[in-house]
Amino acid sequence: MNQSDAGATQIRALVAGNWKMNGLKAALSQALAVDEQLAGAGDAINADVMICPPATMLMVLSELAGKSGLKIGGQDCHVNQAGAHTGDVSAEMLADAGASAVILGHSERRADHGETDKLVCEKVAAAHRAGLTAIVCVGETIGQRQAGLTLGVVARQLTGSLPDGVNAETVVIAYEPVWAIGTGLTPSVEDVAQVHGMIRERLVERFGEEGARMRILYGGSVKPSNAVELMGIANVNGALVGGASLLASDFLGIVDAYRG
């Protein structure tokens, strides 16, 4: 378990798998294999584990999983509770299907759907309205990194995407350098430590002790071969895993970074 820069505050890690737009019914076997392996590991894994499947699989997975305490999350939600919004899913619907959390502001939503910090902030409020934990994503593009804008971009997203009054139970931050997602590239240990350290400082400045307790996940080409190194960095309190979460063996290889 990592500790925050605030000192003795211990933070229980979270490893969350984002399946994105992947997974038909046959893929349930991978999620159930994760659940079964974690159940067998018992208290040896010092982390919470979550899978965020497509919305089509949420309810059935939440009903079938649970031997190990495996958590289920959604990948996005609408700001409204209900209404004439064809194709959208509300936070309340996710909760009703068995989700306990929802990923918001992922770089693919920001890029593909033009989501702004303001909209992400509204979605975080919607998630809280429904009793869901919001996993709020921030991260820079390759152009922004090369221009030396990483810290400013991430700080802006962090400020604009979080409403007032959030706490360590209702919000998790995920830093995902956009250029590292699915490319096999990862920032250096020093780069990750710098960004996570800045995020921690901003959270503490704004939210005090709650900011010191919030989990900050790293995402961006996390795989079994680099998980131990990445998860050992100061202020890295777990991982948001993309492609490597689709196969139980790969995902569990990352979870093993938290095996006691």
Q: Tell me: pLDDT of 23 over 80.
A: yes
**DSSP string of the chain, one letter each residue:** --B-TTSS-B--EEEEEE--S---GGGHHHHHHHHHHHHHHGGGB-EEEEEE--GGGHHHHHHH--SS--EEEES--BSSSSSS-TT--BHHHHHHTT-SEEEES-HHHHHHS---HHHHHHHHHHHHHTTPEEEEEE---HHHHHTT-HHHHHHHHHHHH--TT--TTTEEEEE--GGGTTTS----HHHHHHHHHHHHHHHHHHHTHHHHH--EEE-SS--TTTHHHHHTSTT--EEEESGGGSSHHHHHHHHGGGB-
The stretch 27-43 carries a mean pLDDT of 97
Token pair, residue 212, equals: 């010191």
Class in CATH terms, 13-247: alpha beta
Contact 65, 98 (CB under 8 A): no
- 73 near 53, Cβ under 8 Å? no
Instruction: Mark whether 169 is an active-site residue.
Output: no
Query: Per-residue pLDDT averaged across 130-154, rounded?
Result: 97
Say what the pLDDT of residue 185 is. 82
Parse the chain into domains and list their residue ranges: 13-247
Asked whether residue 77 carries a pLDDT value surpassing 50, the answer given is yes
Q: Using the predicted structure, report yes or no on whether residue 2 has a pLDDT greater than 60.
A: no
Report the distance separating Cα 73 and Cα 97, nearest Å.
10
Residue 183: predicted pLDDT: 83
pLDDT of 190: 96
Residue 3 has pLDDT above 50, yes or no: no
- Name the average pLDDT for the chain: 95
pLDDT per position as a tens digit, 169-200: 999 999 999 998 888 888 999 999 999 999 99
Query: Looking at the predicted structure, is the pLDDT value of residue 229 above 50?
Result: yes
Express each pLDDT in 44-66 by its tens digit: 999 999 999 999 999 999 999 98
Q: How far is CA 188 from the centre of its chain?
A: 20
Whether 84 has a pLDDT exceeding 60, the answer reads yes
> Which residue out of 78, 92, 106, 196 is catalytically annotated?
106
pTM for the structure as a whole = 0.95
- What mean pLDDT is predicted for residues 128-133? 98
pLDDT (0 to 100) of residue 15: 98
